[in-house]
Chain A
Amino acid sequence: MLELTRVTAGYDPRDPVVREASLSIAPGESVGLLGPSGCGKSTLARVAALLHRPYAGAVVLDGEPVRGWRHAAPRERRTAVGVVFQQPRLAADPRLTLRELIAQPLRATGRRAEVPDRVAALAPAVGLTAELLGRRPHEVSDGQLQRACLARALVLRPRWLICDEMTAMLDASTTAALVEVVESYRRDSGAGLLAVGHDRVLLERWCDRTVGWRTVCGAGGTAQESMSPTP
């Protein structure tokens, strides 16, 4: 289970973006989190991905409470969660080729030996050719870069996958292709999914169940609607 209980988080303790949000995902389940822009859903996704320490509340990952976030999280916990962000350009080191980008999590965790096999298996799965793997981010389109970012999220075989507006920048065909890659990985691995987005039609088609932001935040809700700056 991935359970978030009464999580309060944000970037200013006096004015948190997320208040008392609760959400739980069963193993192998896919949950869509639906909310307008600027509501705080990306912040909650970062908490779930162990990338942002909440001010209050509890996160339980696979039965164990999470005590450390970011670098303070033990490696086996950090690598249990794969993340795909909205803007591939901001999430990719411009100096790395796509091949290096996909292999980076393996290098960072001392599993360099697995690089050739994993990259060779993942590249065709996400639709990247050998020629594209040799290019750097500025030489590929947003859709091609997001394919590489998805491969990077899958390279360590995470038990949980968090897709934060993964397809917001992409056209319909690339969106359908990336969703198919995620779903085929989940069929093989049984991984759970939290897909965050604002496209109701897409999330309802993609996920087992879709929850609205208001439901997640309970009665506490959120004061910040679309008037707040997008984080």
Chain B
Amino acid sequence: MSTAPGPKAPMSPASDSDTKPPEGSGPGPKPPVLSVRGLSVRFRMRGGRHIAAVSDAHFDLAAGECLALVGESGCGKSVLASALLGLLPGNARTSGSALLGDGTELLTADERTLARTVRGRRIGLVPQSPAAHLTPVRTVRAQLEETLRELTGTRGSAVRPAAERAAARASFPAGHLDRYPHELSGGLAQRAATALALIGDAPLLLADEPTTGLDRDLVERTVDELRRHTDGDRALLLITHDLAAAERIADRVAVMYAGRIVELADAERFFGQPGPRHPYAHGLLDALPERAFVPIPGMPPELGALPEGCAFAARCGRADDRCAVLPPFDGRLACHHEVRADGEEPVRA
């Protein structure tokens, strides 16, 4: 596997001038910040086996919008995020396309382009585990200043106040700037990581399980802050298994199951009335303790041995003969049986 530098990796400040002028900046509707078409990721394993971690993902993300990607652990959410950042291991093969608003194709971009113009600059990453993401032997201030120097070219006496402003943007208290990551609580470490992700002023923020292990108050504060940064020109892709966090801030929800997006819906419709359309999404919501608190029977299939037809059929109460054929994703749903609000299946002509 090649060494894949993260957002904080050393980058030449001169590369700032390399950024392409935005395409499609003429009249007409604004292009989406991120446009994903048919994105698939396969891992080649020993013995010629293949693992289909992400299959045929389609979605757009507009400026000012927050899309929550939800699903059980191991369903391929994080692999999708890694694919967008070019951080997949060497045995991964991607296909399809993922276009940034300025026309950069993320899946085919070389490491140099990704490291110098994409990570940190056009896509800010809020990581899953900030404690592991921050450098343990350096203070938060040192890490903010380094990132500022690399991403914005700030120099000399301007760096210190800029670092304090960057910390303030993510509500990181100035009094804690000289602390090391292990001296921070989970919530403060999360804000430090958010502050780092915001420095490059990237139009796309990618938050991969930013609330794992935080308590409810901190979850709400963290996602509210992320939402606050999703204003005007910036978009947020929130990857989470925490449905309450998704409900709190998302405009739209994409439900992922066994590597496929099976439903894409407006958050209001999804969490409120008439509710989700896909039986899996229905089951996921019913498992919440504030709802029925009933688990979906069984477990998700192995991504290395997906069934021929619908991957959810084995756990689905509505499964029938039609489910032997893989349901196509029509832009909002991939299921032969749409769940209606009254629980009945609509009659098909």
How far, in Å, is A59 (CB) from chain B's closest CB? 26
The reply to whether the CB of B289 lies closer than 8 angstroms to some CB of chain A is: yes
B185 pairs with A205, CB closer than 8 A: no
User: When each residue 189-231 of chain A gets 1 if its CB lies under 8 Å from chain B and 0 otherwise, what string results?
Assistant: 0000000001111101110000000000000000000111110
Interface of B is mostly: loop
Which residues of chain A have C-beta atoms less than 8 A from B188's C-beta? 227
Residues B281-325 near A (CB distance < 8 A)? 283-285, 287-290, 293-296, 298-299
Residues A34-64 near B (CB distance < 8 A)? 35-38
Interface locus among B11-19, B80-88, B213-221: B213-221
The reply to whether the CB of B327 lies closer than 8 angstroms to some CB of chain A is: no
18 A-B residue pairs with Cβ-Cβ distance under 8 Å, sorted by A, are A37-B187, A141-B73, A141-B74, A142-B74, A143-B74, A143-B299, A169-B212, A173-B287, A173-B295, A175-B287, A176-B289, A176-B295, A177-B295, A198-B216, A199-B216, A200-B216, A202-B289, A204-B289
How far, in Å, is A198 (CB) from chain B's closest CB? 3
Which residues of chain A have C-beta atoms less than 8 A from B72's C-beta? 141, 143, 171, 173-174
B73 pairs with A36, CB closer than 8 A: no
Which residues of chain A have C-beta atoms less than 8 A from B259's C-beta? none
A176 pairs with B294, CB closer than 8 A: yes
Q: How far is the CA of A174 from the CA of B243 in the complex (A)?
A: 13
Residues of B participating in the A interface, judged by any CB pair closer than 8 Å: 71-74, 182-188, 212-218, 241, 243, 283-285, 287-290, 293-296, 298-299
Q: How far is the CA of A200 from the CA of B285 in the complex (A)?
A: 17
A144 pairs with B241, CB closer than 8 A: no
B289 pairs with A38, CB closer than 8 A: no
- Please indicate which of the listed interface residues B218, B287, B290 has the most CB atoms of chain A within 10 Å of its own CB: B287
Which residues of chain B have C-beta atoms less than 8 A from A37's C-beta? 185-187, 213-215, 218
The reply to whether the CB of A179 lies closer than 8 angstroms to some CB of chain B is: yes
Which residues of chain B have C-beta atoms less than 8 A from A169's C-beta? 73, 212-213
A86 pairs with B73, CB closer than 8 A: no
A127 pairs with B212, CB closer than 8 A: no
Q: How far is the CA of A70 from the CA of B217 in the complex (A)?
A: 34
Which residues of chain A have C-beta atoms less than 8 A from B212's C-beta? 168-169
A226 pairs with B241, CB closer than 8 A: no
How far, in Å, is A213 (CB) from chain B's closest CB? 11
A172 pairs with B284, CB closer than 8 A: yes
Q: How far is the CA of A206 from the CA of B322 in the complex (A)?
A: 38
Given contacts A36-B217, A127-B298, contact A174 B289 (CB under 8 A): no
A170 pairs with B216, CB closer than 8 A: no
One of A179, A199, A229 near B293 (C-beta < 8 A): A179
The reply to whether the CB of A114 lies closer than 8 angstroms to some CB of chain B is: no
Can you name 19 extra interface pairs (CB under 8 A) apart from A35-B215, A176-B294? A37-B214, A142-B73, A143-B72, A169-B212, A171-B71, A171-B284, A171-B287, A172-B287, A176-B287, A176-B288, A176-B289, A199-B215, A201-B288, A201-B289, A204-B289, A226-B218, A227-B188, A229-B182, A229-B184
Q: How far is the CA of A127 from the CA of B213 in the complex (A)?
A: 24
A173 pairs with B73, CB closer than 8 A: no
Which residues of chain B have C-beta atoms less than 8 A from A36's C-beta? 215, 217-218
Closest partner residue, chain A, to B72 (CB atom): A171
The reply to whether the CB of A180 lies closer than 8 angstroms to some CB of chain B is: yes
Which residues of chain A have C-beta atoms less than 8 A from B73's C-beta? 141-143, 169-171, 174
A229 pairs with B287, CB closer than 8 A: no
B218 pairs with A144, CB closer than 8 A: no
Q: How far is the CA of A37 from the CA of B243 in the complex (A)?
A: 20
User: When each residue 149-178 of chain A gets 1 if its CB lies under 8 Å from chain B and 0 otherwise, what string results?
Assistant: 000000000000000010011111111110
How far, in Å, is B116 (CB) from chain A's closest CB? 33
How far, in Å, is A138 (CB) from chain B's closest CB? 12
Which residues of chain A have C-beta atoms less than 8 A from B186's C-beta? 37-38, 230
How far, in Å, is A120 (CB) from chain B's closest CB? 18
One of B187, B213, B288 near A226 (C-beta < 8 A): B187
B216 pairs with A176, CB closer than 8 A: no
Closest partner residue, chain B, to A205 (CB atom): B289
Which residues of chain A have C-beta atoms less than 8 A from B289's C-beta? 175-176, 199, 201-202, 204-206
Q: How far is the CA of A215 from the CA of B105 in the complex (A)?
A: 56
Q: How far is the CA of A170 from the CA of B212 in the complex (A)?
A: 9
How far, in Å, is B257 (CB) from chain A's closest CB? 11
A168 pairs with B287, CB closer than 8 A: no
